[in-house]
Chains A and B, each alone.
Chain A
Amino acid sequence: MKLWIITGSATESGAPIYLQSSGRWTHKLSAGHPISSEDERQSLLEAARGQQKLVCDPYWIEVRRAELGHLAPVSLREKIRAEGPTISLRPVPQQLVATASRTAAASA
C-alpha cells in the first residue's frame, strides 16, 4: 500500500515542514500524518494550500514504513530535504583559528 505525506516549506524559514493529523505542521517528517488514500491526499493538499500564511508551495511526497515503523521518504531528494545536506561544511576548527591568530601575532 502506498503512503504519502503532505509537505511544503515554512514561510518564515523556508525549512521543510510536514502536515500532522492535527492539521498543524511539524519539522519532523516522521511525525507527519501518513495518508493512504488518493482522495484524502487531495483534500489535505487543498486544505494545505489554504494555509498560505504558514506554508509555501505544499505538495505530497511518497513515504514508506522503515524499520521500527518509522515513516521515511522514498526519494533521495526528500530524504536529503528531511535530514539536511549530506556534506559537512567542515567549518574551520577553533584550533586552526587559534593557530592562525598566533601566526598573525608572530608576523605583526
Chain B
Amino acid sequence: MYRYDHYDQALVDQRVAQFRDQISRRLSGEITEDEFKPLRLQNGVYMQLHAYMLRVAIPYGLLSSDQLRMLAQVSRTYDRGYGHFSTRQNIQYNWPRLQDVPDLLADLATVQMHAIQTSGNCIRNTTSDHLAGVARDELVDPRVYCEIIRQWSTLHPEFAFLPRKFKIAVTGAPTADRAAVRVHDIGVRAIPGPGPDDPHGFQILVGGGLGRTPRIAEICREFLPREHLLSYLEAILRVYNRYGRRDNKFKARIKILVGALGIEAFSQQVEAEWALIRDGAMQLTQAEFDRVAADFADPGYAALESSDLFVQSLALSKDRALGRFVASNVIPHKQPGYSIVMISLKAKGKPPGDATAEQMELVAELADRYGFGRIVVAHEQNLVLPDVESRHLPDLHARLSALDLAEPNIGKVTDIIACPGLDYCNLANARSIPIATRISDKIEDLDYLHDLGDISLNISGCINACGHHHVGNIGILGIDKQGEEFYQLMLGGSPGDDASIGKILGPALPSAEIVDAVANVLRTYIDNRESADERFLDYVRRAGFEPFKEQLYGSNDHV
C-alpha cells in the first residue's frame, strides 16, 4: 500500500501542530466557537449530541494492520473503546475530548493517518471497491487511481472552499460496481479501450448523489484516456466551483447544477474548460503511474493450486456455522489458492459498523497471520481480509467467531447499513441503530435469512441519507411527526450497475410498526417470487408495489 513520503508526513505533522494551537486558543477562550468551528471542521471534528465526534480518513478504505492497531489504541486511550466505520470507508470516534484531539491526531500521524478533508466543503476521501486489487472481475486496480486522486486533491488550493462537499468514487470492475459510483458527485468507471489493443480508460459520470434530492449520475464523458484523468476531474471541479450555487446550501451540490444545466450543457462546459488544461502538467505519465502502482503490487502470493473446489466443499461442511460463513462471507480471489474474507460488523444486537478495540486488534492480528497485514473497510460498514490462503479458512472462522465477528450475513438483509441517527447525530430526526438491531433480532432463523438471498437494507435517521436509504433494496428513512419517530419504507433502490432510487411504499409507520412491516415485506417476497433465483430487487421490479401494499396496508385506499 501507499507509504507517505517526507512531504506527506511533514504536511500531516504540521497540521497537527497547527490544530493543537487552534484548540488551545479555543480552550483558553481566545477564540469563540464561531471562529473555531470552520477550523475544527477542516480537521474532521464535529459537534454531536453528546460529545465531539472525530472522523478519521481511511483513503479508499485501505488499512495496514499497524494502522488498525493504532485505531484500536486510539479508541481505548482517547475514546470509549470502540469506533464506527462509516459508509465513506472512514472511522468515527464518538467521544473524544477536545483537549485530547491533538495527541490523538499526533498518534495517528505516526502511522500515516489524519483527519484532514473529512469534513467541510472540499474534496472528501475518495472511495472505491472494497475488493480492489483482488477481485476476479476487475479490469484495473482502482486504488492506483484513487491514490493519484488523493495526492491531487489533498489541500488543492483551488478546491478548498467549494459550494458544498464533494465526493468521488472509482471502480476498476466495469461489470460489477461495488463502489456505488452512480450516486457520487463524480463516478469514475474503468472501461476497456475502444480497440482490443488500446489501453483502458474511464467513463466519467457526474451529478449523482443521495440526500434531499437523490439523483443517479449521468455520463459526462463516454471514454476518457487514462492519462487525462486528473485534468478532466479538475475541469469538472472548476465548472462546479464557478457555477455551483452558494446561496442555498440545499441546492449547492453538483447534482443540482447538472440537473439545472442538463448533462449536455454541463459536459460542454467541462470539455471547454478541459481543452485549456488537458495537455498541461496534470497529464499522467507512465513513470508517475508506475511510481504509484508500485505501492499496490501483489503482496507476494505463493504459487498455489486453485482452491475453488475446496472452498465449495467448506460451504457445504457439516459444521453449519463454518458452512454458512464460507457460503456468505467468502469471495473468490483472483489468485489461485486464496480467498477474500468479509468480516461482518453486523452481529446481532450490535450497532452496524461499530467495532471494539479488541475486535480491531484481533482483525489486525489475523491480517498479519493470514493476509499480508492488509485490511479494507467496505462502504457497507464491514471489514475485509483481502488475501487469505483458503486452507486457513476454518481456523480464521474459529478465531473470528470467538469475538463475534463471524456473522454469516454478508449481502443478506441483516447486513444493514445504518447511520448513527438520533442516538448520536445532531441533525437526526429519528433513531436508526435500534431499528437495525430490532430487525436483526427479528430474523433469527439463519436458514430463512439465507433463503431470502441477497437483499440490501439501508437506514438513515434523516433526509441527509448518510445511511444510503435511497439505494437500499429496502430503504428506511426516519422522520419526525410531531415529536414522534416515524419511518418511511422504500423499495427498489440499488447502488450498483443497475442503480435506481427506491420509491416510498406508503404512509410512514410508527417505530413500533416498522420492524413488523419489514418482516411483512420479506414474507410477501418469499411467498410470491418465481423461484429462489429471483432476487428481491428483481421481484420488486417485476411485480411492482401492489403485492407489498396489499399485504402491508390491506386495502389500497389506505395509501
Contact = CB atoms under 8 A, between A and B. Distances in A.
B29 A87 contact: no
Main SS at interface, chain B: mixed
A84 B349 CA distance: 18
A91 B395 CA distance: 23
Contacts of A57: 33, 47
Contacts of A89: 80, 82, 350-351, 354, 356
Interface in A1-31: 9, 11-16
A6 B51 CA distance: 17
Given A12-B97, A87-B437, A104-B399, A97 B358 contact: yes
Given A12-B99, A52-B29, A103-B402, A75 B47 contact: no
A80 B423 contact: yes
B48 interface: yes
B27 interface: yes
A91 B356 CA distance: 6
Given A16-B50, A87-B351, A91-B356, A11 B483 contact: no
A14 B434 CA distance: 24
A35 B466 CA distance: 37
B404 interface: yes
Nearest to B432: A87
Given A14-B98, A80-B49, A52 B424 contact: no
B49 A92 contact: no
Contacts of B362: 100
B98 A97 contact: no
Nearest to B429: A77
Interface string B185-208: 000000000000000000000000
A90 B437 CA distance: 12
A14 B423 contact: no
Bin the interface of chain B by size. Answer: 35 or more
A73 B282 CA distance: 56
Interface string B20-44: 0000001111001100000000000
Nearest to B431: A86
A75 B33 CA distance: 25
B50 A15 contact: yes
A87 B354 CA distance: 12
Nearest to B430: A76
Nearest to A91: B356
A103 to B, nearest CB: 5
Interface string B328-354: 000000000000000000000111001
Given A92-B403, A96-B404, A107 B398 contact: yes
B49 A16 contact: yes
A11 B428 CA distance: 22
23 contacts: A11-B26, A12-B27, A12-B97, A13-B51, A14-B47, A14-B98, A16-B50, A52-B29, A53-B28, A57-B33, A57-B47, A76-B484, A85-B433, A86-B423, A87-B351, A89-B82, A91-B81, A91-B358, A92-B356, A96-B403, A97-B403, A107-B395, A107-B398
Given A11-B27, A12-B97, A87-B423, 12 more contacts: A13-B51, A13-B98, A14-B50, A14-B52, A14-B98, A16-B50, A76-B484, A80-B423, A89-B80, A89-B351, A92-B358, A103-B398
4 closest A-B pairs by CB: A53-B29, A100-B402, A14-B52, A85-B423
